[in-house]
């Protein structure tokens, strides 16, 4: 397994281009299943999860072509089976996103249950119960969801919890359903809106985009031709590099991004002492060489502070001035990075879903490993300021969601290298 070695101490400075959003690319690639015509998706990030999604679609018999600029053309009319097998779902939970489109367009889907994962139990009960309300016959047997329907029927669905992939699955299911579906308490994450805009570009009729009530008027087919759709920039990648610059007391300008999707994160960085300027598609952060101040925050669905930025802010708090309290409300077990940070000398007290971080002047490099994507990124960030070398193991998690992380950090002046297995 590849590892990353980081030598702490360099102050980051420079400019970077932000990649397309992983969490928008995955549902949008799944949504290509809904169209009768070839569709091209652009601004696709170079990530392991994208490769997994291509394998997932490929094993269904779908033709995919990818060019050197990472545009992916999908012809879903060549589909031969309606299945997401365990071997792929176990490596990427987001594979569940094919359930809604397969059922909606082909009336049949066999999708392995994702099961538990490092950050909690993460059930898919809301996806399944809502599809049953839309008329699907669903059996869960031997670890698989088997779903069948003649045609889904639109109805009013009030989601028990705000769920991002749940909202996306139901949105995709509803576009070809008979009649109107009203999704209440829907997730408003920018990636959900990106998917909705893409579906509308293919011929769907969705209104209420960016709000928590989505209305979907079912259509018989999505028959718009010559669709080329570009994925929105990755707000979590953006936030991660902003924190990396802040923790090293540096300065960074990030281009091809969307500051309007990062309000809560930028607010907390300002509180930490960062000077932030931005335009339509760029953000600049400057610490003017100062140590960050610890911040207190609480994760919650968009537009509140994202759970996917919690670990990175924990890393910043452990070397910041003062005490910062981090409360995780979205996932029950998302503090796997804390123990590893403690091995680097961090002063963190964990009390159920709260991490009380007291900033230290100094942390030290150590061999560490993480069990999820954002936790791995937070350990790399901690390594940037730790004294000596930090060796981050199991970085396949990072490769799932960060496009060329060591190259991008090197470009900003970090001392980081990959050791191939």
- Positions annotated as catalytic residues are 117
With b for 16 or more beta-carbon neighbours within 10 A and e for fewer, the 372-395 pattern comes to bbbbbbbbbbbbbbbeeebbbbbb
Displacement of CA 399 from its chain's centroid (Å) = 13
* CA distance between the termini of the chain: 5
What is the binding site for ligand UD1 (CB under 6 A)? 23, 26, 94, 120, 122-127, 161, 163-166, 191, 307-308, 330-331
User: Given the complex with ligand UD1, which of 6 and 128 has the nearer CB atom?
Assistant: 128
Beta strand pairing status for 180-184 and 213-217? antiparallel
User: Given the complex with ligand UD1, which of 131 and 363 has the nearer CB atom?
Assistant: 131
83 — phi, psi (to 5°)? -135, 140
* In the complex, minimum distance from the CB of residue 361 to ligand UD1, in angstroms, rounded to a whole number: 32
* In the complex, minimum distance from the CB of residue 373 to ligand UD1, in angstroms, rounded to a whole number: 8
Token code pair at residue 261: 């999707």
> What does the alpha-carbon distance between residue 59 and residue 88 come to, in Å, rounded to a whole number?
10
* In the complex, minimum distance from the CB of residue 418 to ligand UD1, in angstroms, rounded to a whole number: 24
Residue 389, preceding peptide bond in cis (omega within 30° of 0): no
User: Given the complex with ligand UD1, which of 30 and 346 has the nearer CB atom?
Assistant: 30
* In the complex, minimum distance from the CB of residue 386 to ligand UD1, in angstroms, rounded to a whole number: 26
Token code pair at residue 396: 């396949």
> What does the alpha-carbon distance between residue 196 and residue 64 come to, in Å, rounded to a whole number?
22
Residue 106 Cα distances to 8, 36, 60, 378, 396, angstroms:
53, 11, 12, 41, 34
> What does the alpha-carbon distance between residue 88 and residue 325 come to, in Å, rounded to a whole number?
37
* In the complex, minimum distance from the CB of residue 189 to ligand UD1, in angstroms, rounded to a whole number: 6
Q: CA torsion sign, 124 to 129 to 130 to 135?
A: positive
User: Given the complex with ligand UD1, which of 163 and 248 has the nearer CB atom?
Assistant: 163
User: Given the complex with ligand UD1, which of 124 and 147 has the nearer CB atom?
Assistant: 124
* In the complex, minimum distance from the CB of residue 211 to ligand UD1, in angstroms, rounded to a whole number: 17
- How is residue 191 annotated by DSSP? H
Q: CA torsion sign, 200 to 204 to 207 to 208?
A: negative
User: Given the complex with ligand UD1, which of 80 and 352 has the nearer CB atom?
Assistant: 352
């Amino acid at each position: 397994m590849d590892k990353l070695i980081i030598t702490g101490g360099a102050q980051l400075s420079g400019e970077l281009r932000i990649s397309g959003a992983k969490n928008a690319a995955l549902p949008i690639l799944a949504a290509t299943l809904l169209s009768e015509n070839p569709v091209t998706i652009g601004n696709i990030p170079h990530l392991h999860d994208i490769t997994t999604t291509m394998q997932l679609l490929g094993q269904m018999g779908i033709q995919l072509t990818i060019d050197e600029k990472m545009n992916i053309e999908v012809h879903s009319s060549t589909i031969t089976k309606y299945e997401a097998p365990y071997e792929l779902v176990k490596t990427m939970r987001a594979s569940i996103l094919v359930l809604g489109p397969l059922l909606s367009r082909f009336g049949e889907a066999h999708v392995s249950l994702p099961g538990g994962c490092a950050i909690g139990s993460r059930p898919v009960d809301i996806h399944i119960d809502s599809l049953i309300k839309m008329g699907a016959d669903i059996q869960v047997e031997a670890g698989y969801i088997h779903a069948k329907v003649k045609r889904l029927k639109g109805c009013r669905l009030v989601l028990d919890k705000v769920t991002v992939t749940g909202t996306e699955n139901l949105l995709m299911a509803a576009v070809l359903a008979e009649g109107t579906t009203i999704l209440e308490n829907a997730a408003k994450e920018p990636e959900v809106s990106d998917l909705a805009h893409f579906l509308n570009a293919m011929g769907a009729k969705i209104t209420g985009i960016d709000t928590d009530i989505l209305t979907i008027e079912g259509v018989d087919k999505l028959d718009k031709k010559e669709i080329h759709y570009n994925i929105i920039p990755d707000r979590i990648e953006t936030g991660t590099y902003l924190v990396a610059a802040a923790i090293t007391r540096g300065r960074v300008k990030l281009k091809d991004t969307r500051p309007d999707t990062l309000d809560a994160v930028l607010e907390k960085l300002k509180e930490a002492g960062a000077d932030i300027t931005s335009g339509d598609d760029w953000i600049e952060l400057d610490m003017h060489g100062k140590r960050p101040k610890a911040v207190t925050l609480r994760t919650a669905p968009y537009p509140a502070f994202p759970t996917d930025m919690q670990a990175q802010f924990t890393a910043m708090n452990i070397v910041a001035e003062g005490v910062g309290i981090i409360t995780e409300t979205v996932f029950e077990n998302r503090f796997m990075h804390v123990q590893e940070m403690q091995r680097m000398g961090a002063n963190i007290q964990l009390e159920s879903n709260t991490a009380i971080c007291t900033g230290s002047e100094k942390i030290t490099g150590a061999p560490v490993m993480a069990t999820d994507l954002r936790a791995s990124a937070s350990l790399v960030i901690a390594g940037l300021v730790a004294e000596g070398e930090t060796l981050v193991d199991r970085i396949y998690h990072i490769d799932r969601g960060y496009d060329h992380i060591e190259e991008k950090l090197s470009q900003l002046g970090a001392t980081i290298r990959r050791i191939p297995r």
